[in-house]
Structure 1
Amino acid sequence: MSKQRGIVVAVPTDSVSTNDQLPIAVIGAGPIGLAAAAHLIERGIEPLVLEAGPSAGTAVRDWSHVRLFSPWAELTDPAAEKLLAPTGWVRLDGAAYPTGGDWAEQYLQPLADVLGDKVRYGVTVTGVARAGRDRIVDAGREEQPFTLHVRTADGAEERISARAVIDASGTWSTSSPMGADGLPALGERAAADRISHRVPDLKDPAVRARYAGKRTAVVGSGASAFTALAHLADLAKEEAGTHAVWILRRGISANTYGGGEADQLPARGALGLRAKAAVDAGHASAATGFRTDAVERDGDRLTLVAEDGRRLDPVDEVIVLTGFRPDLSFLSEVRLGLDERLQAPTALAPLIDPNVHSCGTVYPHGVNELSHPEQGIYLVGMKSYGRAPTFLAMTGYEQVRSITAALAGDHEAAERVELTLPETGVCGGAGLFDEPDAAQDGESGGCCAAPATLQIGLGAPASSGGC
């Protein structure tokens, strides 16, 4: 490794090293990234996990107060459990529903600790390319290793070589805006200090004070919005003047609150019923068919204006829970095949289109659906779903099992399906996910099986909403 003017360049010690001797880079030390590392080790392949945060599951810790609506049995990966077993780690109660904090502390961090120096923290990937080839060049492209441009916590730059790249960085860092056209509403950026994109942790005194006795608009129609409405309703019972205004782009129908008691993810069904109870009790009022066009500010209060000219009464705060989207900026020099609508891999997109599918109607998939024109790079976990909101953690575990088998040359195992997903019995039908769930079971947290605000939730003391 050489160092020049604050720039560190990773140089193979053996100049005749082949690509097969290089590690496989895994971006993100969340649930799916760490599972990928565990499967690679099981296959005898060296992983190098690059995590931008200071610990495993950094994004998950951001919603540590949110309870998932998938139980422990669906939140741990078999290969990861094998790595953990010799350490004395005890398999968790499969029927219990953990919070994001539980998931990080009781599973993700112990797994990362077992991986040891195969996980590097404080490393942000700023670019991925083929060594010496931009995306235009064909000649010798597939023979070249990948090079990852990274920035460390102290500001130093490095170049890391890898034989393949598994991007499990999730979508948590890129929240979707309030504007109905997918772009920020007029005035949204200027009002950023009064707008949050996270389910509030009302156990935090500072956060509680922000919403207590206030009028808050909640924009979104997924489990994250349900969670926020339920928690604000609880606050309204204790703090006079607390009221939520629920902003929906569509009307209220039989499907608005999810499947209720018919949902085969019972905790998620209960969450929808709690949101309905908040509206029925008058703790929340709904503004339907409201597609936000502008945010007008008058002092500390905000007025939302719809595309049709309707204006809501002023609110003190706005919580925008309209989903997440993938950050593709650092992948601009590799050749990805992405659906033009969902920004998901082309072969996967028809299977996860939220207009027609739910987490329970997406069949398990692997390397075939996740491959790109650029061989050797894979988007996995919530990032693989692009803007679709229905991701399950166990779907991600199956993804990386298949991909790592293919990378090891075991094509029979890569093609084999080793996962049966539960049918939820509730998701489906055009427009159901008009405003996607913000929570995700996967990396960086909404989905059919993760936090509410990532791409799952119970009516328990902790915030709810996640798969």
Structure 2
Amino acid sequence: MSEQQLPVVVIGAGPIGLAAAAHLVDRGLEPLVLEAGPSAGAAVREWSHVRLFSTWAEVVDPAAEKLLAPMGWVKPDGATYPSGGDWASRYLQPLADVLGDKVRFGARVTGVSRVGRDRVVDAEREQQLFTVHVVNADGTEQRLTARAVIDASGTWSTPSPAGGDGLPALGEKAAAEHISYRVPDFKDPAVRARYAGKRTAVVGSGASAFTALAYLADLAKEAPGTHAVWILRRGIGGSTFGGGESDQLPARGALGLRAKAAVDDGYASAVTGFRTQAVERDAEQLVLVGEDGRRLDPIDEAIVLTGFRPDTSVLAELRLNLDERLEAPVELAPLIDPNVHSCGTVYPHGAKELAHPEQDVYVVGMKSYGRAPTFLAMTGYEQVRSITAALAGDQDAAERVELTLPESGVCGGAGLFDEPESAEESGGGCCATPAVVQLGVGAPITSGGC
């Protein structure tokens, strides 16, 4: 088989991985999508109860729609907001079905390298194809050969801990049965029973934290004694609750307003400047201890939503050039760095910014952002459009920008993204001094919601 006949291996059958496959097909290239889970959007299905703050019009890739339309697929109303479950069942799975045997489920990638070359060897490196090591659902191992590799495996499996130093707090692992690192499904009666009438700490300041606060506030209206303790590593400023009505994604702005309303209405109390050092037992409850020595009142449960981080271990034998802070490609990192990222949007980017010293290897989607919080699905679609153009030799298309991103309406960008992967709070980068928010006045929910 010639190099041109070999597939481009795409790791992950989520929104961006399947979009990459659709663009490869559109370019006349052969994709092979390897998905560890049993179905398309396996990670998305785990947050099926959470509603996106982008509309259907913004989360369907154009190349994917081009493949789906001849099969009788009807695009959902573009002005409505899908849940994760809707996204997976009404778009991702049909797309995988259309791609057919170009998508393989139950195939976990365990490593990628150059054929016969570990990361140390220079000799004739660029002339070697890629070898992709796979373990199938039945335990059998395979070695696949690829002309290029696109890693769209996401970050869902590697949530960040409660510890303020990026490591698990003392006692955090021992208290695991009382800690969730995902937004719970409060429609589930068992989940509601777990949190009803309880004090729950919500650690984090991104979209996921807003969602949890809103859910707990709704539960408190039905179950007296339910209360959220919102733990923030920084103070409360003008951008804490997002852009509100100034956000060009209305549902994203409304989500922040719902979180603010939870605090204003007394269903949640905010603890600011608190970096968790330890999680201690107090009979059947937990006590959070801060680095400054503060000990909070006992809680019953904790929902830790401090972000996710990329696991690049399967690419360990390849030569990647990642930013030392964000673990994002070095050319992309300055565009998304929450330490310095200012007002407005993240500039659309593609093959150039996502390239590595190892030619024809790309990390895309949420994983490409490393630990940065500002990812949107439409950003990932633009990434793979550009990358597939580059792989097809169309440099003009690869360098062309075909996306305009919506303004967030805030300075900085912490927590503003589609998938419910709340980012660790950033500590600055605002283009103006944030105003102090006077809590106590309820904010109306104008539209949308998570």
Give 1:157 deviation, angstroms: 1.4
| Match 2:146 to one of 148, 159, 162 | 162
Structural mapping, 1:236-275, within 5 Å: 236-275=220-259
Structural mapping, 1:291-306, within 5 Å: 291-306=275-290
Q: Aligned with 2:234: secondary structure?
A: coil
Distance 1:427 1:169, change over 3 A: farther
Give 1:264 deviation, angstroms: 1.4
Q: Does 1:448 align with 2:417?
A: yes
Counterpart in the other structure of 2:84: 100
Give 1:21 deviation, angstroms: 2.0
Give 1:358 deviation, angstroms: 6.4
Q: Does 1:354 align with 2:323?
A: no
Please give the alpha-carbon distance, in whole angstroms, between the structure 1 residues aligned to 2:336 and 2:62.
24
Counterpart in the other structure of 1:40: 24
| Match 1:132 to one of 116, 130, 136 | 116
Q: Aligned with 2:319: secondary structure?
A: coil
Please give the alpha-carbon distance, in whole angstroms, between the structure 2 residues aligned to 1:69 and 1:241.
30
Give 1:360 deviation, angstroms: 4.3
Q: Does 1:311 align with 2:303?
A: no
Counterpart in the other structure of 1:283: 267
Give 1:356 deviation, angstroms: 2.9
> Is 2:242–2:409's contact at 8 Å kept on the other side of the alignment?
no
- Quick one: percent identity of the two aligned structures? 77
Distance 1:359 1:146, change over 3 A: farther
Please give the alpha-carbon distance, in whole angstroms, between the structure 2 residues aligned to 1:426 and 1:264.
11
Give 1:460 deviation, angstroms: 11
Deviations 1:26-54 (A, max 9, x none): 00000100000000001111100000110
Q: Does 1:343 align with 2:320?
A: no
Give 1:461 deviation, angstroms: 12
Structure 1 unaligned residues grouped into runs of 5+: 1-16, 438-446
Give 1:209 deviation, angstroms: 1.0
Counterpart in the other structure of 1:19: 3
> Is 2:115–2:129's contact at 8 Å kept on the other side of the alignment?
yes
| Match 1:199 to one of 158, 165, 183 | 183
> Is 1:249–1:288's contact at 8 Å kept on the other side of the alignment?
yes
> Is 2:250–2:447's contact at 8 Å kept on the other side of the alignment?
no
Counterpart in the other structure of 1:390: 374
Give 1:459 deviation, angstroms: 7.0
Counterpart in the other structure of 2:430: none
Please give the alpha-carbon distance, in whole angstroms, between the structure 1 residues aligned to 2:282 and 2:269.
22
Output the amino acid matched with 2:331: A
Distance 1:251 1:123, change over 3 A: same
Please give the alpha-carbon distance, in whole angstroms, between the structure 1 residues aligned to 2:15 and 2:72.
20
Q: Aligned with 1:383: secondary structure?
A: helix
Moved more, 306-315 or 292-301: 292-301
Please give the alpha-carbon distance, in whole angstroms, between the structure 1 residues aligned to 2:146 and 2:136.
18
Please give the alpha-carbon distance, in whole angstroms, between the structure 2 residues aligned to 1:411 and 1:257.
41
TM-score between the two structures when normalised by the length of structure 2: 0.93
Aligned length: 431
Counterpart in the other structure of 2:436: none
Please give the alpha-carbon distance, in whole angstroms, between the structure 1 residues aligned to 2:392 and 2:447.
45
Deviations 1:389-415 (A, max 9, x none): 100111111110110011011111111
Give 1:18 deviation, angstroms: 2.8
Q: Does 1:363 align with 2:347?
A: yes
Distance 1:120 1:396, change over 3 A: same
Counterpart in the other structure of 1:12: none
> Is 2:10–2:33's contact at 8 Å kept on the other side of the alignment?
yes
Q: Aligned with 1:50: secondary structure?
A: strand
Please give the alpha-carbon distance, in whole angstroms, between the structure 2 residues aligned to 1:293 and 1:30.
35
Deviations 1:271-306 (A, max 9, x none): 111111111111111111111000001332110000
| Match 1:109 to one of 78, 83, 93 | 93
